[in-house]
């Protein structure tokens, strides 16, 4: 029997109805032995996530205001679940502990972690699984940085003797017992660490979409899920703004080649998207798996005749960036030109002195700055037919009347980065989406 770690996100655990769906899913495969849960999320559009309510409790307590109303909202969310599922759970005692903490000198990360703690305890009760508190096995240092090696050992030692367990997502603790959380959405990371620690055959990430969509559905309404994506493709898509999985959730499992399967709790029969290192045999290698983008970029253009014969020109520019600790997104070099693409918000505070230093040290023939650029990544590293795909993308943009400000591919497989003016960003994404060929029909 294979061992599966199944992580359920906030919307999947939002109320008793969702808890029931989780139990059905868990029971339908005995391999689903280790369950990771987030705190209850939104039940409807304007609902408030439990983690946000807890943050509010903390903010109010920290300002010396009454937090009772917010705490009551948290209590009610859990009480409703407990009542509807007819469980007996000592909620008032747990809320009492939290109240006492808030009345003292509250610790933010402890407070906001209580949503996952309570949700996992109630879920464990409901499923009849053992509750595992990450306070004892997800190890942070006192500055809040995860210690991955120790975590792997401690989690492995805690879970291996168990037949099944529910683990609370999102937090762990340091040696002194202080709770630390990952950044928001961090239960994905807990799931990934759990899968790695027990050497799971699969890491299932259950959410409210049927997989990773090939484009942002707010821009492309009809965007379809992708069947297979590589870890690297996912990394690029997430970096460029596709939000389905916390970016730190990839590394622990990709190192061990454990596939991540993104599934929909509300549509459990849909196979969703699977993230793997290499496509399984027999699967079609489609050239483009997705398109994503990031607005808010600036382009710095430095031109100087004969620069291609001068060694060290680019190194000086990179050194100027380094001394300012200013990261760049891309550095494109051409004959007698160097183009830097930098996030506008990061460049802003350095704009004047950076440009002054370029002028002083490099005496360029031309120094230009273009702002309001969006960077689009056309992603697909497993396909064989990248040149055709490139042609289709460029053709689609031309047909839509979109001019390209920058373009960069590098020597790897298709990971085409295209800069367009922000006004044309959505149109460009839509145009590129039409070139995605999920069934490989154009191959
Ligand atoms: N509950 C936390 C959040 O809302 C963590 C998570 O959901 O993964 O960000």
Model confidence at 309: pLDDT above 80? no
pLDDT over 90 percentage in the chain = 81
Q: Of the residues 47, 187, 193, 246, which should be mutated to test ligand 1's pocket, given the most ligand atoms within 8 Å of the CB?
A: 187
- Residue 440 vs residue 39, higher pLDDT: 39
Does residue 78 have its Cβ closer than 6 Å to ligand 1? no
Does residue 115 have its Cβ closer than 6 Å to ligand 1? yes
Fill in the DSSP letter of residue 413: S
85-125 pLDDT tens trace? 999 999 999 999 999 999 999 999 999 999 999 999 999 99
Model pLDDT, residue 312: 86
Average pLDDT over residues 358-371: 95
CA of 15 to the centre of ligand 1 (A): 15
Model confidence at 383: pLDDT above 90? no
The two structure tokens encoding residue 178: 């202080």
Under DSSP, is residue 377 helix (H, G, I), strand (E, B) or coil? Answer: strand
Residues 6+ apart with CB under 8 A from 377: 236, 237, 239, 240, 291, 292, 293, 415, 416, 417, 418
Q: Specify whether the CB–CB gap between 140 and 180 falls below 8 A.
A: yes
Q: Of the residues 18, 108, 185, which should be mutated to test ligand 1's pocket, given the most ligand atoms within 8 Å of the CB?
A: 185
Kind and range of the H or E element at 417? strand 415-421
Model confidence at 177: pLDDT above 70? yes
**DSSP letter for each residue of 21-58:** HHHHHHHT-TTEEEEEE-----SSTT---HHHHHHHHH
- Is CATH 3.40.50.2300 correct for 4-208? no
Model confidence at 281, pLDDT cuts 50, 70, 90, reads confident
Average pLDDT over residues 374-382: 90
Model confidence at 238, pLDDT cuts 50, 70, 90, reads confident
Does residue 171 have its Cβ closer than 6 Å to ligand 1? no
Model confidence at 242: pLDDT above 90? no
Closest residue to atom 6 of ligand 1, CA basis: 185
- Residue 413 vs residue 441, higher pLDDT: 413
Residues 6+ apart with CB under 8 A from 306: 336
Does residue 10 have its Cβ closer than 6 Å to ligand 1? yes
Give dist(CA 234, CA 222) in Å, integer.
Answer: 20
Give dist(CA 427, CA 174) in Å, integer.
Answer: 47
Average pLDDT over residues 63-89: 97
Q: Specify whether the CB–CB gap between 320 and 312 falls below 8 A.
A: no
Does residue 121 have its Cβ closer than 6 Å to ligand 1? no
Model confidence at 384, pLDDT cuts 50, 70, 90, reads low
Does residue 114 have its Cβ closer than 6 Å to ligand 1? no
Model pLDDT, residue 283: 83
Does residue 40 have its Cβ closer than 6 Å to ligand 1? no
324-350 pLDDT tens trace? 999 999 999 888 999 999 999 999 999
Model pLDDT, residue 414: 66
Model pLDDT, residue 420: 97
Model confidence at 439: pLDDT above 80? no
Average pLDDT over residues 301-313: 84
Ligand 1 atom at minimum distance from 182 CA? 5
166-175 pLDDT tens trace? 999 999 999 9
Model confidence at 390, pLDDT cuts 50, 70, 90, reads confident
Model confidence at 286: pLDDT above 90? no
Give dist(CA 362, CA 333) in Å, integer.
Answer: 15
Average pLDDT over residues 8-32: 98
Q: Specify whether the CB–CB gap between 228 and 235 falls below 8 A.
A: no
- What does the mean pLDDT of the chain come to? 93
Q: Of the residues 54, 108, 170, 243, which should be mutated to test ligand 1's pocket, given the most ligand atoms within 8 Å of the CB?
A: 170
The two structure tokens encoding residue 15: 């109320």
Model pLDDT, residue 403: 95
Model pLDDT, residue 386: 64
CA of 246 to the centre of ligand 1 (A): 10
Model confidence at 385, pLDDT cuts 50, 70, 90, reads low
Model confidence at 243, pLDDT cuts 50, 70, 90, reads confident
């Amino acid at each position: 029997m294979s061992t599966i770690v199944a992580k359920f996100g906030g919307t999947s655990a939002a109320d008793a109805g969702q808890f029931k769906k989780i139990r059905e899913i868990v029971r339908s495969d005995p391999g689903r032995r280790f369950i990771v849960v987030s705190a209850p999320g939104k039940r409807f559009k304007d609902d408030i996530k439990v983690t946000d309510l807890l943050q509010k409790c903390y903010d109010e307590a920290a300002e010396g205001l009454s937090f009772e109303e917010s705490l009551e909202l948290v209590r009610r969310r859990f009480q409703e679940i407990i009542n509807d599922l007819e469980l007996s759970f000592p909620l008032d005692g747990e809320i009492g502990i939290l109240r006492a903490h808030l009345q003292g000198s509250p610790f933010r990360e402890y407070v906001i972690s209580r949503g996952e703690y309570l949700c996992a305890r109630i879920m464990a009760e409901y499923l009849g699984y053992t509750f595992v508190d990450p306070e004892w096995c997800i190890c942070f240092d006192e500055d809040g940085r995860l210690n991955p090696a120790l975590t792997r050992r401690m989690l492995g030692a805690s879970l291996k003797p168990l037949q099944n367990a529910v683990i609370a997502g999102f937090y762990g603790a340091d040696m002194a017992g202080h709770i630390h959380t990952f950044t928001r959405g961090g239960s994905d990371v807990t799931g990934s660490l759990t899968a790695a620690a027990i050497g799971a055959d699969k890491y299932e990430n259950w959410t409210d979409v049927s997989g990773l969509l090939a484009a942002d559905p707010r821009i492309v309404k009809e965007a379809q899920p992708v069947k297979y994506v590589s870890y690297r493709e996912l990394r690029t898509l997430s970096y460029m703004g596709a939000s389905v999985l916390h970016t730190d959730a990839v590394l622990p499992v990709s190192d061990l080649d454990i596939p991540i399967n993104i599934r929909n709790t509300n549509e459990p029969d849909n196979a969703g998207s699977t993230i793997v290192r290499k496509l399984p045999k027999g699967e079609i290698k489609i050239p483009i798996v997705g398109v994503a983008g990031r607005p808010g970029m600036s382009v710095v253009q430095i031109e100087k005749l004969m620069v291609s014969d001068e060694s060290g020109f680019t190194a000086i520019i990179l050194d100027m960036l380094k001394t300012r600790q200013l990261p760049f997104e891309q550095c494109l070099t051409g004959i007698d030109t160097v183009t830097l693409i930098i996030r506008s918000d990061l460049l802003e505070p350095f704009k004047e002195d950076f440009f002054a230093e370029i002028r002083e040290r490099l005496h360029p023939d031309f120094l230009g700055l273009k702002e309001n650029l969006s960077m689009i990544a056309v992603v697909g590293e497993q396909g064989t037919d990248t040149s055709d795909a490139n042609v289709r993308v460029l053709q689609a943009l031309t047909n839509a009347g979109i001019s390209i400000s920058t373009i960069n591919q590098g020597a790897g497989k298709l990971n085409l980065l295209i800069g367009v003016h922000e006004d044309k960003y959505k149109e460009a994404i839509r145009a590129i989406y039409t070139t995605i060929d999920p069934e490989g029909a154009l191959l």
